[in-house]
Structure 1
């Protein structure tokens, strides 16, 4: 395993790299880190070079430079340039499903397949207001002011009842975030635009949970209808933190898909 920091546009982004073979990049969503995908890494690394960055402003990556969906796209392109990868398989969760779609549209030759976990649309006006209000809350009162609400709203009842360690880990991911980095991530999501989904020609896997109230099965079905080559899986009793709540199924489906 290679763990360290890679200079991307003057910012040292935290990145973990494991395994060998064709590269797979795993991008976490708002409030996550590369550790969101820890349950999938060992199996994927037997077949692929697995690359897990902490997005700018998240986890161990600093709060600096442009924090926006366009900024995340630029960071991904810069990271691949630094690592010497011309084409990759991409996995995105939640907010990062927008990032990887925008990347696939902007750099079609660099993507061979996409997996979207808990895919979301760009937020409507009410959603934009909610994200900006959350940003204001964490700036004023810190991450503890929102962590329990996010866990309650974005994990399934079955996860909280039967797999409390998963819910606890989601809370830990959230409470360890830099409040300013998280706030800027909220603002990046609020300002997000809808990707030109119809322009994406590579195979796409859409995976969500029956109890995902953020990246709902309806959103995945809508996206599947606009994509040239899409397949959808829905996990029972799974909320929005897909790779943790349905860890074994996500691992198996990613290996089969890729």
Structure 2
């Protein structure tokens, strides 16, 4: 039987073949970032992946919006083909992103943060001009699930990242906590293809040294750009209340619960997710009220 994908889905290999290969961009004396840059109209849509993630994670959106919008996606320092940071900190990752956008001539991006990447997007938008912010599967606090520290500490101590991962174990964990039960198996496997587990220690310490304990609530009012906070009810990693509370705290925050999705809604229900991104474009480019734009774009939901 042919594989049935959700509406708006673009398989990973098809997306990768349609896009240019990533290149290295020097953002400071110490750091070069593996970057995929697709020119297009302003404002640029800039993707920040989560912990142990990949610049290819938003492949359905990269394929869909290429040509319609300037796109930037990159590997955080220490991940993928990017060099390591001399120190792992959210401040450092924000500085890397600022340097990258300066090099690419991007002034007021729409930032899309996923999972731990939401911390980078939030902190960047507090300090630098942004046309909008989209936060998915994260927020401004409590991004670390209770099971993560007991799992990663011995993993790092024993240097298990040097070994081939237990494929069956990884898949059981991903299926259990990452995706809605109705998400087609082909989508989960495709996403895993876009996101191989890293074998560099620096990718794992990015999580443990930069993101554990993040709490950006104290000065959340500094993020004044339109902010769309999207969460899937089946997310087993970050609780939905974290997203809802984050949206309520931000001066221009709008919360959207996207049904039948988990931690990776942009791949699970790409057509619906892309409509939310278009609502952000309506707000950032057309000056529309974000909440009204979301209602208009999701009326059929």
TM-score normalized by the length of structure 2: 0.75
Partner residue, 1:156: 180
Which 4+ runs in 1 deviate beyond 6 A?
none
Contact 1:198 1:227 in 2 (8 A): yes
The residue number in structure 2 matching 1:118 is 137
Q: Give 1:193 deviation, angstroms.
A: 3.2
Q: How many residues align?
A: 252
Deviations 1:78-128 (A, max 9, x none): 101111222211110010111111111122xx211100011234348984x
Which residue number corresponds to residue 275 of structure 2? 252
Equivalent position SS for 1:90: strand
Q: 1:183 and 1:131 mapped to 2: Cα distance?
A: 11
Conserved? CA contact 2:116–2:143, under 8 Å:
no
Unaligned 5+ residue runs, structure 2?
1-19, 282-301
Distance 1:184 1:153, change over 3 A: same
RMSD: 2.4
* CA–CA distance in structure 1, aligned partners of residues 207 and 22 of structure 2: 27
Residue 215 of structure 2 is matched in structure 1 by 193
Q: Which residue of 2 aligns with 1:17?
A: 37
CA distance, structure 1, for counterparts of residue 238 and residue 180 of structure 2: 13
> In the alignment, which of 235, 244, 268 is matched to residue 221 of structure 1?
244
Tell me: CA distance 1:18–1:126, structure 2 relative to 1, closer, same or farther (3 Å): closer
Indicate yes or no: 2:231 matched with 1:231.
no
Q: Which has the higher helix share?
A: 1
Q: Over alpha carbons, which structure has the higher Rg? A: 2
Residue 132 of structure 1: how far off its partner (Å): 6.7
- The TM-score with structure 1 as length reference comes to 0.87
User: In structure 1, what is the Cα distance between the partners aligned to 2:26 and 2:276?
Assistant: 32
* SS of structure 2 residue aligned to 1:16: strand
Q: Deviations over 1:16-49 (max 9, x none)?
A: 1114111121111112111111101133223211
Cα distance in 1 between the residues matched to 2:278 and 2:145? 37
In the TM superposition, what is the alpha-carbon distance from 1:13 to its structure 2 partner?
0.9
Instruction: Tell me if 1:6 matches 2:7.
Output: no
Q: Say if 2:232 and 2:265, in contact at 8 Å, map to a contact too.
A: yes
